[in-house]
Structure 1
Amino acid sequence: MTRPPVDRPRRMTLIHDDWAFAPVALPSDSTWEDVAAAGSYVTLPHTWNAIDGQAGGEYRRGRSTYARRVVAEAADVRTWVEFEGVNSSAEVYLNGRLVAAHDGGYSTFRADLTGHLENGAGTLVVIVDNAANERVYPQQADFTFYGGIYRDVRLITLGAPHFALDDHGGLGLTVTPIVDGVRADVALAADVDGEASAVRFVIDGEASVTVPLLDGVATSELTIERVRRWHGLRDPHLYTARAELLVGEAVVDAVELRFGCREFAVDPDRGFLLNGEQYPLRGVSRHQDHEGVGNAVTEEMKQTDLALLRELGATTVRLAHYQHDQRFYDLCDEAGLVVWAEIPQITVFLPGAVDNARDQLTELIVQNRHHASIISWGLSNEITLAGAGEDVLAAHRELNDLAHRLDPGRLTAMAHLFLLETDNPLVALADVMSYNLYFGWYVGEAADNDTWLDDFHTSYPEVAIGLSEYGADANPQYQSAAPVKGDYTESYQALYHEHMVTMIEQRPWLWATHVWNLADFGSAGRDEGGVAGRNQKGLVTFDRGLKKDAFYVYKAAWSDEPFVHVAGRRRAERVEDVTEVIVYSNQKHVTLLVDGVEVGSLTGERAFRFQVPLSGEHEITARSGDLADTITLRKVDHVAAASVMPTTTIANWFDDAALPTPAGYFSIRDTLGEIKQSEDGARIISSVLEAVAVSRGEVGRGAQIPPAMQSIVDRMSVEKLILQAGGVPVERIAALNAELNLIAK
């Protein structure tokens, strides 16, 4: 059908230029010149923490002021301003009058400027605040809370009757498809502001229905016969729903949303099901920030992240730990990626922010429930670090009920801290649950992930479980021929993920698994692994310029795009006479050539290991059919010091100290489980765990080890526990050993 013209079409104009910015809170009636004089000119998107938020240590958290002149298109139109993301609280003034206030840095909000313009013009002043407080999430987390107007801002002009713009950032149109066999019934609802006669709903320019308005609301249903289902990567088909607002026969406003028709379910034995088929959700999590720009990312950067997800062959992405922008959800719809979306209720429960968590969840759902890619609403992440009391449980029950009221067709989800006991009532509250497990990095060994998950599946066979986070930090500068946990080498990260991808593949009942993380990201409080201000668990670097070897571990497991990749290229200088060359590939047969001469062929899956003698500089090539990848290796007497992480003070002290280990008595070289058999030993172990918790700062304070993890921790020596934790004073270590030397075995 031919689309009728809109009598007075809404105009949405990006207003990114000509902003004045001052890194202080100025009066709300400041002029554009006042703000410019106190600061500078900026172009949006913008954050004032692009540099200090990624440098490590303190970064500026407080109030700043933005200003811009705005002009209405005509005297008889309605004028709104739309912000897609301002972190974390905003007050919006027009000519000195407050027109909007918003708490929450990751969702869309709008302000109605109509009636506040003077002679059709005015000065827009936005006071933005990312200071610490107890009422807005997030406040404590392992990522930087960049301040600023960091997403798109638009001026919206439209006629007096229009689709509502004041419903939690929504478009005034709700689309809910229900698939039934070969057809789909699509429920449509529109909210209208102003006097109009009817709404015409249209799907893909073909099926249409016109219904009268009743108290500003129009509802109807359209049926799609022979529906084409949205089916992930295989066929991410989208339909377009259009709502046209009618005054008589004239169309005075129109809005459109794209949606997909699909069914999904989670089964504790079969995992995730899409349209009735087993569809393993295997992917990564994504933080939105990029190096040098923080959260003020460009369209090109979003496309880069999408391209990386596609290259990996991921079927899912967890968009953590907050609402991402509409554009990225759109890209996931188009690409067929299944999405876990969530709010930033994270780490520590804030009694004063209960209302804010509810508001952020409402905005997340209202603004995004049309996205075919989204299958779950995340209620929180590791929220029980400081405990899981009745107030935490009650707040989550309310959020769970709210999500089901707003969107009955999707699942609720939670990502649990690995310290949370599996029998805690919070675990069973949401529709599906996942755990953040870091065995093999923060505690225990990689194989402990297998044991923990198998024990859970055996104990709770009726519960679907997933892995919401797992990973290991890697600085590509650091390399090792014998990688070990905690060395921050690219080599260990790849070895760890080799284990994890196999472990996951052997457990199809895991409903979803998400590597932490797609890319390194800003975390101002970190200073480890040779880089300050950064979490380095990414499969690619912060600037997306380098794919770590672990990236290819997953590409070999998930992607259908043929490739071979020779790992260890950044360990070009090697001291060993015979070195191991690892090739990652999704091909079944790989041949290795050294200086053009074939030295071996292997048949296998994902990882191919060759032993290669070194005697000088060699060109190493891996081949599979027409595919090839080449690196250069050199035999040297000593590796460069820069390629090895400097040993910590504690590790050096352990190497140098001649700690007494008297026969028949305990020492820090004994395991926690052995020492705890003695009453005096149990008391000392309690003090050890307290010292370790204090060494982790606020993140570790109050953390308790649940019974489900205790057996893993008990197998560790006191020395190993302290080395992994770091930060325990050496004099405290010597005193602990002396105390243990007094206790007979």
Structure 2
Amino acid sequence: MKRTLSFIIVITALCSVAFGQQNIRLNDHWQFLKQDLGGIWEAVRPVGKGAPESVPLWDSVSLPHCVNAIDAVDPDINYYQGPAWYRTSLSVNNPYVNGRTLLHFEGAGQKTQVYIYTTKVGEHVGGYDEWTVDITDAVAAFQKTEAYQKQFKGKIPLSIRTDNSRDLEMIPSDLSDFNLYGGIYRYLNLVYTPSVYPDKIFAFAQTDKDGKTGSINVKARFANPANVSKADVSVTLIDPSGKVVKQQNVALSSISGTQELVSFDLKKPVLWSTTLPKLYTVQISFKVGETESTYTEKVGFRNFVFVEKGPFMLNGKRLLLRGTHRHEDHAGVGAAMTEEMISKEMVMMKEMGVNFIRLGHYQQSRIVLNLCDSLGILVWEEIPWCRGGLGGDVYKAQARTMLANMIEQHYNHPSIIIWGLGNENDWPGDFPEFDKEKIRTFMKELNDLSHQLDPSRKTAIRRCDFCKDIVDVYSPSIWAGWYRGIYTEYKSVSEAEKDKVKHFIHVEWGGDSHARRHSENPDQILSKVLTGKGADERAGDASLFGGSARVSKDGDWSESYICNLIDWHLKEQETMPWLTGTAYWPFKDFSTPVRPDNPVPYMNQKGVVERDFTKKESYYVFQSWWTEKPMVHIYGHSWPVRWGEKDEEKMVKVYSNCDEVELFLNGKSFGIKKRNSQDFPAAGLRWLLRFNEGENKINVVARKGKIKVEDEITFIYQIEKWDRPSQLVIEKVGEDNGITTIQAKVIDKKGVLCLDAMNFVRFSITGDGELIDNQGTSSGSNYVQLYNGRAIIKVRSKGKSVISVRGEDLLTAFITL
């Protein structure tokens, strides 16, 4: 029976591919080739004495590995889209009698083919869902060959071809505002299973409206290539404290397809929430003959409701969803983030106060979902039907498959509340035809499929107004103060959009900021921006050229402006009792092929942290609104030089969640201010001060009850006026563990630092050292726009090197290390 939106229910547990006891990550001893081969024989033919020359040449890499780790943000080239190859040799020692040996891909982009020696054993289309290849028979066949003993010395040759070539009949579209990465960029596992095993485990848990009673139903889908007919199953439910609360044995007389194993009722289940994410464990022991294997899944009990025209409720209480977004992207590695990197990123989000995340715009790693479960972060996860229109039968088949895979593979996570069906599907471009009715028809099909596979969760899309009546929850495009309008219009625009749908949520808002750039007058552009004309994003808005005045094109891209925009939004959200919640776009800067002209080329710079986890000032604005742990932060830690007139009053903003803050300038107290959430900006924690010419030091002491926290900054105040940029200066400003920091500055003909200079500059190096560039950060790009007349880059120092910097209409400057 299809459940309505008012029916409070929850699905829990992780429905992953359940693999018993033997799961080995294949991280090391790989060779990589960034091009295609003439055929699989070129990957496995003999090398060495008496063999043909080994061409082409392969590189040694480890997994996870992204083909586009560096070139995605190279300012001078298009990133590589094409075939690539990986190869290694496996030691296969399956401990199970008649067991199966699998390769489990957690994600590889975007089309993948798998070979054991010269035999293709599997292939997959789609860069984001998990999949497996059973290599048992191919391994057994190869072990009978002469090459197994002589050429490969008892090991199994594994070759994998990935391909992220452009393809209009594949999702996501290459018009998308993110890179379609290539490579084995998530973990690859060698898995040993018994001859029969549960391929999927589905645990459906629910509670009543008050959370006083609950139940859980456990099903399994079996892989049974040996056609075994009988098995003994034991299912145990363990509460968050480790206590066994339910246990039941089941004798199966048939092992095929998906079968129900047990149903348990519970009184007063421990509820999962964003503040107390309590998880139960479902443990399944599976015995066939003398072979026994055990599988565990984490589950949680919670219920939620999207109130019509009203707020979001979790476990019977209103919860304002305070969210952000995540792309799978990081400096130096592209999509190939390690488990440690992913964990650090998710913990940083939680420490910022996030309780909700939209995973844009594709199914993400199981590691991410596990962390959302354990940290208490609710999730909107979606398929990558993103921009371009609607393709043909192959295109639609892939979309259906990816939706089914996403739901089945992440079915049991208590964190997930929304399945996303698309993003910006009103954006044409990939096909001659753009038929809204055909898009509506396919959206309805996906909506029905989602509810069929999982009736308990909601469906949603972002920015496709002609489909907003199809899904359960809708997010329009509202970018007040960036792509259209000014940020003070945010509440009125949101209320107007809320009235158009039953269930409103606002995902994607904010704006770009060039890290380390600051402004003494950040809102100056707003006087030129049209108001009352909407606040949506439109095709072409990524361009920095042409069109009417808008902040995204004509603003200063300063951290100062974005902090004001965010501060205003968060102030307003606290006074919108009907609001379900929002998600800021995004948490971290990420690479994109459609923004070559940005201050850091090929980067979407809307994150509150840079691509290498360096926090921008805006991170602390969110903390001041969303966190309970006492914090205080003076705006301007990355602003070394402020400017103005002598004795001019300058504003100092302090972001804090504390009750009161006292500020000291150069050792003198300028009084205590009380926090007032509706006193914009900085909730009233702002001071107008007169700085000394030269160095100044600001200290603040904040108190929340009996707890005291402090912060301080030191900066230079410049009163000299500057003329037009005349000269580049390059200097060494730091060194640590063999890494030297180089700074370039622009000065006028009198030697005064030009603090509003925004020239692009390019760093180069000759000699023994190496630029740490192509990182997609403000301090890790060899071609970058200045921030307040300066730019820095790091150098891996060794021997002797000459570093140069040149800029628009400026002579090249040099420094020797």
Question: TM-score, with normalisation over the residues of structure 1?
Answer: 0.80
Matched, 1:91 2:173: no
Shift of 1:312: 1.0
Counterpart mapping for 1:724-735 below 5 A:
none
Amino acid at match of 2:101: T
**In the alignment, which residue of structure 2 is the partner of 1:63?**
83
Of 99, 110, 135, the match for 2:169 = 135
Deviation for aligned residue 1:388: 6.1
State the match for 1:241 in structure 2. 282
CA distance in 2 between counterparts of 1:222 and 1:645 reads 67
Q: Aligned letter for 2:460?
A: A
The residue correspondences of 1:501-516 to structure 2 (distance < 5 A) are 501-516=570-585
In structure 2, the partner of 1:444 is 485
**Mapped contact 1:20–1:36 kept (Cα < 8 A):** no
CA distance in 2, matches of 1:84, 1:279: 32
Alignment of 1:26-65 (within 5 A): 26=37, 27-32=39-44, 38-56=57-75, 57-65=77-85
Tell me if 1:182 matches 2:212. yes
SS of 2:301's equivalent?
A: coil
SS at match of 2:405: helix
What's the % identity of the aligned pairs?
Answer: 29
Is 1:371 matched up with 2:413? yes
Q: Is the 8 A contact 2:171 2:398 kept in 1?
A: yes
Partner amino acid, structure 2, of 1:602:
K
What SS class does the counterpart of residue 596 from structure 2 fall into?
strand
Gaps of 5+ in 1: 1-7, 165-171, 649-745
How far off is 1:295 after superposition? 0.7
Q: Would you say the 8 A contact 2:520–2:643 is kept in 1?
A: no
Q: Which residue of 2 aligns with 1:609?
A: 686
Deviations 1:112-151 (A, max 9, x none): 1011112185321111000110222112211112210011
Distance across 2 between alignment mates of 1:345 and 1:337: 24
Alignment correspondent of 2:717: 635
Deviation at 1:197, TM superposition (A): 2.3
Does the aligned pair in 1 maintain the 2:20–2:295 contact within 8 Å?
A: no
**Who is 2:567 aligned against?**
498
Tell whether 2:633 aligns with 1:565: yes
Pairing 1:621–2:699 present:
yes
The answer to whether the 8 A contact 1:178-1:186 is kept is yes
Q: Does 1:24 align with 2:35?
A: yes
Specify the alignment match of 1:555 in structure 2: 623
Q: Distance in 1 between matches of 2:625 and 2:205?
A: 33
Q: Distance in 2 between matches of 1:61 and 1:524?
A: 11
- Amino acid in the other structure paired with 1:555: Q
Contact preservation (8 Å) 2:476, 2:497: no
Secondary structure of residue in 1 paired with 2:64? coil
Indicate the SS of the match to 1:225: strand
Q: Which amino acid aligns with 1:39?
A: W
CA-CA distance at 1:647 after TM superposition: 7.8
Matching of residue 193 in structure 1 with residue 223 in structure 2: yes
Closer, same or farther in 2 for the Cα pair 1:388/1:632, shift >3 Å?
A: farther
1:559 Cα deviation from its structure 2 partner:
0.2
- 2:55 and 2:20 mapped to 1: Cα distance? 34
TM-score, normalised by the number of residues in structure 2: 0.73
Structure 2 gaps, min length 5: 1-18, 48-53, 145-154, 239-243, 429-433, 524-550, 723-744, 747-753, 761-817
Deviation at 1:339, TM superposition (A): 0.8
Q: Deviations over 1:73-101 (max 9, x none)?
A: 14833111111010111011112222111
Partner amino acid for 1:256? Answer: T
Partner of 1:599: 670
Deviation at 1:40, TM superposition (A): 1.2
1:385 is displaced (CA, Å) by: 1.3
| Aligned equivalent of 1:466 | 505
- Alpha-carbon deviation of 1:511? 1.7
SS of the residue corresponding to residue 256 of structure 1 reads: strand
Q: Report how far residue 596 of structure 1 moved.
A: 1.4
Q: Give how far 1:574 is off.
A: 2.3
- Measured against aligned partners, the alpha-carbon deviations of 1:418-448 in whole angstroms (never above 9, x if no partner) come to xx4xxx3x11111111123212111211123
- In structure 1, the partner of 2:246 is 207
Q: Which residue of 2 aligns with 1:398?
A: 445
Aligned partner of 1:220 in structure 2 is 261
Change (3 A) 1:529 1:22: closer
- Pick closer, same or farther for the CA change 1:53–1:9 going to 2, 3 Å: closer
Cα pair 2:596 2:603 within 8 Å, conserved: yes
Matched-pair contact (CA < 8 Å) for 1:29–1:125: no
Partner in structure 1 of residue 540 of structure 2? none
Task: Note the C-alpha offset of 1:192.
Answer: 2.1
Q: 1:152 aligns with which of 187, 205, 229?
A: 187
In the superposition, relative to structure 1, how do residues 178 and 645 fare at CA in structure 2: closer, same or farther (>3 Å)?
farther
The one-letter code of the counterpart of 2:494 is L
Q: Deviations over 1:331-353 (max 9, x none)?
A: 11001111111111111223131
- Following superposition, the deviation at residue 529 of structure 1 comes to 4.2
CA–CA distance in structure 1, aligned partners of residues 598 and 21 of structure 2: 51
What's the counterpart of residue 125 of structure 2?
Answer: 103
Q: Which residue of structure 1 lines up, in the alignment, with residue 16 of structure 2?
A: none
After TM superposition, give the deviation of residue 200 of structure 1 in Å: 2.1
**Deviation at 1:228?**
3.2
Cα shift at 1:212: 3.2
Displacement of 1:256 in angstroms is 1.5
My pick for the range that moved more, 566-575 or 182-191, is 566-575
* Counterpart amino acid of residue 180 in structure 2: F
CA contact (8 A) 1:71 1:122 kept: yes
Is the Cα contact below 8 Å between 1:477 and 1:643 reproduced in 2?
Answer: no
Instruction: Compare 435-444 and 532-541 and name the one that shifted more.
Output: 435-444
Which region of structure 1 is more displaced relative to structure 2, 317-326 or 71-80?
A: 71-80
Tell me the distance in 2 between the aligned counterparts of 1:449 and 1:252.
Answer: 59
Shift of residue 274 of structure 1? Answer: 0.6
Conserved 8 A contact 2:25-2:187: yes
Query: Could you tell me how far apart the structure 2 residues matched to 1:256 and 1:146 are?
Result: 32
Sort the Cα spacing of 1:36 and 1:335 in 2 relative to 1 into closer, same or farther, 3 A.
farther
| Structure 1 counterpart of 2:201, from 135, 155, 173 | 173
For 1:709, the equivalent position in structure 2 comes to: none
Determine helix, strand or coil for the equivalent of 1:132. Answer: coil
Question: Which amino acid is the alignment partner of residue 379 of structure 2?
Answer: V
Counterpart CA distance in 2 for 1:493 and 1:90 is: 41
Change (3 A) 1:581 1:30: same
Q: Which amino acid aligns with 2:215?
A: D
Q: Look up the equivalent residue of 1:491 and give its one-letter code.
A: S
Alpha-carbon distance between aligned partners in 2 of 1:82 and 1:320, rounded to the nearest angstrom = 23
Is residue 319–residue 580 contact of structure 2 (8 Å, CA) maintained in 1?
Answer: no
Displacement of 1:191: 2.0
Q: Is the 8 A contact 1:478 1:645 kept in 2?
A: no
Q: Distance between the aligned counterparts of 1:18 and 1:540, measured in 2?
A: 33
Q: What's the secondary structure of 1:60's corresponding residue?
A: coil
SS in 1 for 2:594: strand
Q: Do the aligned residues in 2 keep the contact of 1:232 with 1:335 (CA within 8 Å)?
A: no
Q: Tell me the C-alpha RMSD between the 2 structures.
A: 2.1
Q: Using the TM superposition, name which of 378-387 and 577-586 deviates more.
A: 378-387
Q: Write the deviation string for residues 444-490 of structure 1: whole angstroms up to 9, x where unpaired.
A: 11123222212223x43x61211110011001232111014321101
**Paired residue type of 2:143:** N
1:119 counterpart residue number: 143
Quick check: 1:563–1:586 contact (8 Å CA) kept in 2? yes
Distance 2:295 2:756 in 1: 57
Matched to 1:644, the amino acid is D
How far does the alpha carbon of each residue in 1:655-709 deviate from its partner, in whole angstroms, 9 at most, with x for none? xxxxxxxxxxxxxxxxxxxxxxxxxxxxxxxxxxxxxxxxxxxxxxxxxxxxxxx
Q: 1:527 aligns to what?
A: 596
The one-character-per-residue Cα deviations of 1:570-627 (angstroms, maximum 9, x if unpaired) are: 3332222221100000012111101111012211236111001012221111211321
Could you list the per-position Cα deviations for residues 705-734 of structure 1 after superposition, in whole angstroms to 9, with x for gaps in the alignment?
xxxxxxxxxxxxxxxxxxxxxxxxxxxxxx
